[in-house]
Amino acid sequence: LTSVWKMVKIGLQFKASLDGVTNLRPDTEEFRWYLKLRCANCGEVTEKWNYVDCLEKQPLKGGRGTASLVSKCKMCARENSLDVLEDSIVPYNIEDSESFKTVVVFDCRGTEPVDFDPRSGFIADGDGSTTTFSNIDLGSKEWTEYDERANNPVSIFEVEHKFIKL
């Protein structure tokens, strides 16, 4: 007997203190969202980080379409899937600083994200300048640079995240 998992939309909420930068966002469609996932059937959490992006698609069993990630739970062998909803990706702006904001939504079937590792691949703009900062690495939960056009130090720090069911 095969059960069909109900689709659950889960938003990744991001929070950080932005100083001198705004419009923080993934650099490209190839941006990798590194997640740890929990099986909704048995509760097993993946040991390793799984990544999903907007470009890679894997077929679902039984020809039911595709998803960004299709995986089999190591504990209960259930096939689970997660899809990045590309239209849901929004930038985190200086006005959002120090508040949680949903920056991406995942369509989850049989799995749900429980942890996020921001790593590299972010891009941001100088607040009040024309400078664009690329390949921002938030793996250490903070980033600092100097905006030569604005003659100001810029930074992103106190990076936090949480997941919410939508």
pLDDT in tens, 121-154: 999 999 999 999 999 999 999 999 999 999 999 9
> Tell me, what DSSP letter sits at residue 45?
B
Query: Per-residue pLDDT averaged across 95-120, rounded?
Result: 97
Nearest to 7 by CA among 48, 67, 47, 75: 67
CA distance 70 to 94: 35
Where residue 2 falls among pLDDT bands split at 50, 70, 90? very low
pTM (2 d.p.): 0.94
Q: Give per-residue pLDDT as tens, 41-100.
A: 999 999 999 999 999 999 998 888 999 999 999 999 999 999 999 999 999 999 999 999
CA distance 39 to 80: 8
pLDDT for res 1: 38
Q: What is the torsion angle, in degrees rounded to the nearest 10, for the CA atoms of residue 116, residue 51, residue 68 and residue 97?
A: 30
Contacts 24+ apart (CB under 8 A), 101-104: 101/13, 101/14, 101/15, 102/11, 102/12, 102/13, 102/14, 102/164, 102/166, 103/12, 103/13, 103/14, 103/25, 104/11, 104/12, 104/33
The pair of structure tokens assigned to 134 is 């690329």
pLDDT for res 4: 54
